Amino acid sequence: MNRPAQRAASRGIHRLFDSPTSRVPRRALRAFVPCAFVLTIFLSGCQVPPPPGATAVPTLSPFRDPSVDLRTATPSSSSSRDALPTDTDVSSRPEAGNPEPTTGSPTQPPSEGAAAASFDPADPDTLLAAARRGGDYLTRATGPEGRYTYRYRAATNESVGGYNILRHAGTTFSLLQLFRETRDPLHLAAGERAIEALLAATGPCPGPTGFIAPAEAAAAAAGIAPPRLLCVAEDGEVKLGGNALAVVALVEHAEATGSRRFVAEAQALARWIVAVQSAEGEFVVHKITEPDGNPTDFVSGYYPGEALLALLRLYELDGDRAWLDAAERGGRWLIDVRDGTVADDDLAHDHWLLYALARLHRHAPDPVWVAHASRLSRAILDAQLRPNQLFPGEELWAGGWYRPPRSTPAATRSEGLASAWAMIRESGDDALADAVLNGLLRAAAYQLRTQVDIATATGWPAPAAAVGGFRRDLDSDEIRIDYVQHNISALLLLREVLLVSGRG
């Protein structure tokens, strides 16, 4: 039974137990796997013939080719820029290095790569090199006006459109995070162009609303100008997460470069974040509409953690205690109210909250931060795919999450675990700290298998355009900016853990 057929036989079983919305406990799946494994072995005698004309896809090496300079490698293209969606600004200039679309039919699907043992995820140099290649991809994908090629299909060498300003901000954060390590002027230049595009989407917050009015009234009573509030808007909406990740990106720029060029904008964006927080700490608005400023019913599981991280990063930059106080209130509300009565198996794997808890513990030490970070870390580790949970043909899924695993869930959970590792170790829980580090190494092995190398890209119309990007999963040719963003951040954070722990 070939590998696709093995997966087809097992995925239906997996889907029942491991859907993100399934209420069947994960422990039930672990108990069920041995029986299902026997069934799969039995079915392996039933060979499924390949489609007529199909050819076998060779297993390709996951080693990256160090001889390729991704900053100068650009694809050739016979198509015009008019083939791109109108919301994606792609320059034909070689220095912009954006993946250009071409016409034609898809080529062979990507290989899954070789076994994880082919490279060492515990080597800090390997991790930095992979992160650099991801940053080089983003640099090439940044247009002259600062907008990224948002979603790229490598098999057809085309941008397939769409945009998300929140992911734009997060991607810019990761590119500047990488610049701290590489000091590559091309990474910085791309990041600064992306900031300009982000600020072009920023303006006065819609309203006045009930959230902004109190600040305006207090300023009027004091005879002073009202505080400046800014919002990131896209498609007639303002999102809490958009403002938050914009702040994170702007603060990262300030810390990476020493420039305070964008600090005033970061503070104005953060004021709106605080304006939509209740006295108890809940962020009561996650999305408002333009131009009326009316809140919607939309609630995100990730925006509050992003908001906490933004406030804490800004506090570290300007020292304004109001940001820390707001973050502390928000953290306690999330722990006591949102997560307080949720079973461990049902906890959202909130990596942004883990980012924030590590900083809360640094600036406002309290055992509650460590306790919740430990709880979240155990829940994340418990859901990670282990070799003994996998069917034949799924061996390369080890270290990921979900069936089939995807690169971004693996990377985001790694970001959270790496952020929590130091505080867990400092708390004296060596067993959990070791488990977190081992989980990070398993995840990194999976993540690196999803990065495009020269071998993976062989046969695609423009191999150099895709190299360094992170695919959606092992069977995909799709590269989206947030796939690259989260993998860069995760690999850099794991590298830091390895260096601090002495394992690197």
pLDDT in tens, 215-232: 666 666 666 667 889 999
pLDDT in tens, 15-38: 444 444 444 444 444 444 444 433
Q: Which helix (H) or strand (E) holds 50?
A: none
pLDDT in tens, 393-436: 999 999 999 999 999 999 999 999 999 999 999 999 999 999 99
User: What is the pLDDT, as a whole number, of residue 503?
Assistant: 82
Q: Is residue 81 part of a domain?
A: yes
Mean pLDDT, rounded, for 362-369: 98
Q: Is residue 58 part of a domain?
A: no
What are the φ/ψ torsions at residue 368 (nearest 5 degrees)? -65, -35
Q: Is residue 470 part of a domain?
A: yes
Residue 275 CB neighbours (<10 A): 19
- Number of structural domains (the chain) is 1
Q: Is residue 4 part of a domain?
A: no
Q: Is residue 489 part of a domain?
A: yes
4 touches 51 (CB < 8 A): no
| Amino acid found at 428 | G
Q: Is residue 43 part of a domain?
A: no
Q: Which domain holds residue 370?
A: 65-501
**Distance of CA 132 to CAs 10, 101, 181, 209, 469, Å?**
36, 24, 9, 44, 10
CATH value at residue 434: 1.50.10.20
pLDDT above 60: residue 86: no
Give the burial string for 2-32 (b: 16+ CB within 10 Å, else e): eeebbbebbeebbeebbeeeeeeeeeebeee
